A and B are shown apart, each in its own frame.
Chain A
Amino acid sequence: MDKVIASRTKGLTDVPFHYCPGCAHGIVHRLVAEVLEELEIMEKTIGVAPVGCSVFAYNYFNMDMQQAPHGRAPAVATGIKRVHPHSVVFTYQGDGDLAAIGTAEIVHAAARGENITVIFINNTTYGMTGGQSAPTTLLGQKTKTTPLGRDKEVNGYPIRVAEMLSTLEGAAYIARTAVFDPPHVNKTKKAITKAFNTQLKGLGFSMVEVLANCPTNWNMTPLDSLEWLKENMVPYYPLGEFKVSEEVDRNAS
């Protein structure tokens, strides 16, 4: 008998991704979908797509989806979750969406301990609009709107979202991971699983920040972009778990 070694997750539709070759969005989509399938919660999950390269997430995740205005996904998710408290609600957001225009929404969703899961893609740039600077752009990093490199005198300093949110009482689980090699992809999947388990157990707000590449707007090959990420992003954005509430430790690990 033929043995199936790998198959496409049912958590994704058959629609081909529009993402650029080598872009992390595709990998993280797959991980989220696999986790939802493995936890057998697809039928009670409602996802919220952002405005950014991943706006079409509603076409890819094989479940009920709402598409939110730029930055407002945590508010939209709050509305859904309050109506259906026993469903699973997640947002998928980029760093312009979450850390610039939507800063208030993410901070207050976390502060309320809103029982939702946030997948946060930090690629240091605005991918969809063509590579302008983001609040996460590193000092010295060149983007379309920091052509000479980000200057702290002009643009200030990049925001470490995971660390910032982990200071909030309502945040139950906060981790930062990356997807530049298979071991880290596995770690990311584990973190996403823990985040959804946190929600399933009703323990409060959970977020996984994933360091991601944008080869297109970084003007690099996919391989070079992963090297750049490792060398430049990881030192400023350390990987790991920043908040694991005692209850998560006991119940969702």
Chain B
Amino acid sequence: MPKELMDGNRAMAEAAVRAGCRYFFGYPITPQSEIPEYLSLRLPQVGGVYLQAESEVSAINMVYGAAGAGARVLTASSSPGISLMSEGISYIAAAELPCVIINVMRGGPGLGNIAPAQGDYNQAVRGIGHGDFNLIVLAPNSVQEMADYTILAFELADKYRNPVMILVDGLLGQMMEPVEFKEEPPKQFPKPWATTGAKDRPRNIINTLFIEPEELERLNLKLQEKYEQIKQEECRCENYLTEDAEIIVAAFGSCSRIAKAAVEEARELGIKAGLCRPITLWPFPEESVRKAAQKAKACLTAEMNAGQMVFDVRMALKDRIPVHHYGRMGGAVPTPGEILAQIKKIEVQING
């Protein structure tokens, strides 16, 4: 397949179609509107349905219905819209239904702005809705990865019967890069539990109500067991120049590319810096973070927020070394120079 030049949003949309997704329900919001715009034309071409809902609340519930009915289904939104989906996402997780949710993050809180930000990390990995549940959260950092991980997202969702979120920001969503779509067909999973009409089989029920505490606790335990398995099997992380690194910069998504440039500049100055880039934000790749920091004397997280992933890094490293945070907020994007300045400051602290 030849490479095509595409923006990240459209690459995710096209990848969803190639993953066998035929249903999209959503509500317009910047900076993700290229996704619904693309799919409104593309899905009908392949016999699918694009439907613009009256709100994100309605959109996620259409997703809930379609997922329960056995379809590969996608929704996409940006920060405020994701907040509105929160109740529905909790239902989808409780009913153990597969679906993919794209959050192209923007500046917050409130209406914020439409500039790129990473302020929804905590929401995605631990606060997306009520009750004990987790999403699988993927954080690509290039247009190619946005395409690849969209396909992976549908496969993981079906495999674990769990909602999967792709967490990116407006920078990645709107950035043009060459992308190549794989030829191999996506993995499919049987869905004998789906509501398709009870013909020649016992009836199927999609439900999240369990009046008896013991009964609900059984569901909770089952979910926890599943999450444990996902933690064992699905952690993904990219470590770069970490083998001898004394200073680890941890960053995800768009910010990891800026951090990578800073790490390379630091190396040119003779500072032993390395980059640790979690790709799954949940499950958080603790083992890989520890491995990256084996020789490290300090760690720095670079995020486009007030310091959210930094707590997961601290937990992974269990306070063995100091973990600093450098962040920009409000849609401001850090420069490699800003991150390099932080690396130099830490270098002075650890090596005098």
Contact = CB atoms under 8 A, between A and B. Distances in A.
A226 B110 CA distance: 49
A108 B54 contact: yes
A58 B205 contact: yes
Interface string B29-59: 0000000000000000000010101110111
Contact of A69 (B71, B87, B204): B87
Nearest to B200: A43
Chain B CB within 10 Å, residue with most, of A44, A49, A79, A83: A79
A42 B196 CA distance: 11
A45 B205 CA distance: 12
Contacts of A81: 65
A224 to B, nearest CB: 30
Interface residues of A, number: 34
Interface residues of B, number: 37
Contact of B65 (A56, A77, A104): A77
A209 B16 CA distance: 40
A43 B51 contact: no
A83 B197 contact: no
Contacts of B71: 83
Contacts of A46: 69, 195-197
B203 A79 contact: no
Contact of A43 (B49, B66, B197): B197
A79 B195 contact: no
B323 to A, nearest CB: 39
A43 B221 CA distance: 33
Nearest to A64: B195
Nearest to A49: B207
A217 interface: no
B195 A80 contact: yes
Contacts of A84: 69, 196-197
A87 B206 contact: no
A239 to B, nearest CB: 30
Interface of A: 42-46, 48-49, 55-56, 58, 62-69, 72, 75-84, 87, 104-105, 107-108
Given A66-B68, A75-B58, A76-B65, 9 more contacts: A46-B196, A58-B207, A65-B195, A67-B209, A72-B64, A78-B62, A80-B69, A81-B65, A83-B65
